[in-house]
Structure 1
Amino acid sequence: MGRRGARGVAARSAIEGMRELAGAGLAAPEVFRRADELLRPVLEFDAVCWHTADPATGLVNSVQSEDLALDQFEHAVRLEVWADDLATFPKIRRSGVHAETLSRAARGRLEESVRFREQVAPAGFGDELRAVFDAAGGMWGCAAFLRAPDRGPYLARHRELADVAARHLGNALRACHVPGGSAGGAPDGVDQGPAVLVLDRRNRLQALSGPAEDLLARLADPTPSSLTVPTSVAMAAEHARRTAHGLVVPQLPVRVWTRDDRWYLLHGAALRGGEAQDAVTVVASPASPAEVMPLYLAAYGLTAREQEVALLLVRGSDTRDVSRLLAMTPYTVQDHLKSVFTKTGVGSRQELIARIMLGGGRC
């Protein structure tokens, strides 16, 4: 077998392994570790930085890397939020593909990328391949794969392979958030009320409320970084600063999944005047059932239309109401219901409501 044939066999084996991840019952950190083992030999990268994301907005809310020291990660967060750069995660997602290389986006002129000049090159790398992990209408994570300069730029086959792999990773991360039957109440001894944090202009913690100290531990990144707060908190703070400067920001708040399997909403607000200039208050509150229901339905892999039907059912509509509100026949509604029940593993509307309202998960 020639070199090209061997590469093809290795690529197919890696993709098959990626496909199996969605049913492996793994939490996000383990999904990423397994993906690293499968993809490193075929994508031929030297380092990777993994992120989970708020599926509703695509905003990065955690960081994980076994290759990088992350001693300049606060600068990476600022670049991600403020720099209008090439091949950013939002731009890749809007382009309709799942993966892009920095060298291709820059047409070979890597120095035109601020990220290359200030982050990639100083870290000793030559090209970056980014991938977004979309599934069921949400972006559940993303990653940046870096390679040494002597390897040359990523090739088309690397980008195409990453595009396919990213789809399977989206499904694997989505599956992490399937409700697992937890009651979704407060953990023993934990105050589930809003947590308040005050950060200075460099996102260093200046003050916090009682519940915030425990929440910070539950939001901690899998990999320590130069940030003194979790990535999700720093992202909420930076986007609050963008808002204060009158710049366009994604739909907020930032949604984040805690270590004890709960969704939290992070709202940031910039402070003004005196020594508070560019300081930010971040308020983190438990998401209500109404706020997380769309996320749970997406986690089950329901199509957009199936999610609409399911949400109306959970909110008390009957078949005739759904038929009228969504302008479809009762028979079509019943077809969607069968699919919803199959995907969520329930046999009735009452069971569906109970399953979605209970929440829970594994990431």
Structure 2
Amino acid sequence: MGSRGIRGAAAQQAIEGLRELAGAGLTAPEVFRRADELLRGVMEFDAVCWHTADPATGLVNSVLSDDLSLDSFQDAVRLEIWSDDVATFPKIRRSGVRAETLNRVTKGRPEHSVRYREQIAPAGFGDELRAVFDAHGGMWGCAAFMRAGDRGPYLGHQRELADIAARHLGNALRASHLPPPGDGPEDESCPDGGAPVVLLLGPSNRLLAMSGPAEELLAGLADPTPSALAVPTAFAIAAEQARRAAYGLPAPQRKIRVQARDGRWFVLHASALRGGTAGEVTVVASEATPADVMPLYLSAYGLTAREQEVALLLVRGCDTRDVSRLLTMTPYTVQDHLKSVFAKAGVASRRELIARVMLGVGH
């Protein structure tokens, strides 16, 4: 068997391993570390930076890397929000593929990328492959894979492998966000009765002041890999979006959902201060409401868009007749959707579905 066949067999083995991750009950950091073990040899990368994301907006909300020094991660956040670079995560999503390389998108001229000039090349890397982990309409995470300059650019079959791998990683990350099957954590109380946390961040996202149970929340939302940021990644991303909007540039997504280590979801909303020091931003973090979180859990079960519409109406108290009328479908069609919803959620009745979803919301 030639080298091409060996490479193909190794790639297939990696894909099979990735496919199994969705049913392994892993956390997001565990998914990433297992994916690293499966992909590093066949994709031939030298460093990787993994991120989870708010599934609804696609905004990055955490960072994990066992390879890279994150001393300049603030610069990476700034570039991600402010620069109109090539092969950004949003542009890859809009392109219709899940993975792209700098060398391919710049036609062999990676120096055309500001990200390459300011970060990738100075760190000693030659090419970067980025992948977005989409599943069932949500972006659950993404990653940037770097390789040393002397390896040359990524090859076509490696980008194709990353594209396939990204789909399975999207499913694995989606599964990691499923509501807990048990009775929830032993202590579901919220610090200060669920009072919102308010942070004041300086121009470089330095923490200037805070109120509410901030220390507990910051610890619960801390990144898997510490970086030079004074606050978790989600806060810095929200703050940069607010600064961009204050500068008059398009920034439609300034609200970020992020899940704490105890399973609770929080919503961050940032606003630039008026009349204060330039660049100062307040970030308010509050526990997510059922309206914020329920669509994410329904998506995490792998429901189609139509099935999510049916399930949301059920959770809100509608019966089959109401759903039929509101969604303009026959009662028989509603029942077919319900069977699929129950099967995917692992429940046998509407009451069980509502209990399962509401348990996740209150987790």
Structure 2 length-normalised TM: 0.97
Distance 1:186 1:251 in 2: 32
Contact residue 57 and residue 252 of structure 1 kept, 8 A? no
Q: Which residue of 1 aligns with 2:212?
A: 210
CA distances 1:248-281 after superposition (whole Å, capped 9, x unpaired): 114331000101101100000101224x211000
Q: Which residue of 1 aligns with 2:151?
A: 151
Distance 1:231 1:184 in 2: 25
Q: Which residue of 2 aligns with 1:282?
A: 283
Q: Which residue of 2 aligns with 1:342?
A: 343
Contact residue 132 and residue 139 of structure 1 kept, 8 A? yes
Contact residue 177 and residue 360 of structure 1 kept, 8 A? no
Q: Which runs of 5+ in 1 are unaligned?
A: none
| Structure 1 SS opposite 2:191 | coil
* Structure 2 counterparts to residues 47-196 of structure 1, below 5 A: 47-180=47-180, 181-183=182-184, 187-188=188-189, 190-191=191-192, 192-196=194-198
Q: 1:184–1:319: structure 2 CA closer, same or farther, 3 Å change rule?
A: farther
| Structure 1 SS opposite 2:172 | helix
Contact residue 101 and residue 127 of structure 1 kept, 8 A? yes
Amino acid at match of 1:73: F
Distance 2:187 2:153 in 1: 49
| Structure 2 SS opposite 1:277 | coil
Amino acid at match of 1:149: G
Distance 1:186 1:246 in 2: 44
Confirm whether residue 232 of structure 1 aligns to residue 234 of structure 2: yes
> Structure 1 vs Structure 2: percent identity of aligned residues?
74
Q: Which runs of 5+ in 2 are unaligned?
A: none
Distance 1:21 1:278 in 2: 42
Distance 2:360 2:256 in 1: 19
Distance 1:302 1:186 in 2: 30
Contact residue 199 and residue 205 of structure 1 kept, 8 A? yes
Deviation of 1:360 after TM superposition, in Å, equals 6.3
Q: Which residue of 2 aligns with 1:305?
A: 306
Distance 1:302 1:253 in 2: 24
Confirm whether residue 7 of structure 1 aligns to residue 33 of structure 2: no
Distance 1:355 1:159 in 2: 39
Q: Which residue of 1 aligns with 2:255?
A: 253
Amino acid at match of 1:225: S
| Structure 2 SS opposite 1:68 | coil
Contact residue 196 and residue 212 of structure 2 kept, 8 A? no
Distance 2:65 2:73 in 1: 11
Runs of 4+ in 1 over 3 A off after TM superposition: 181-189
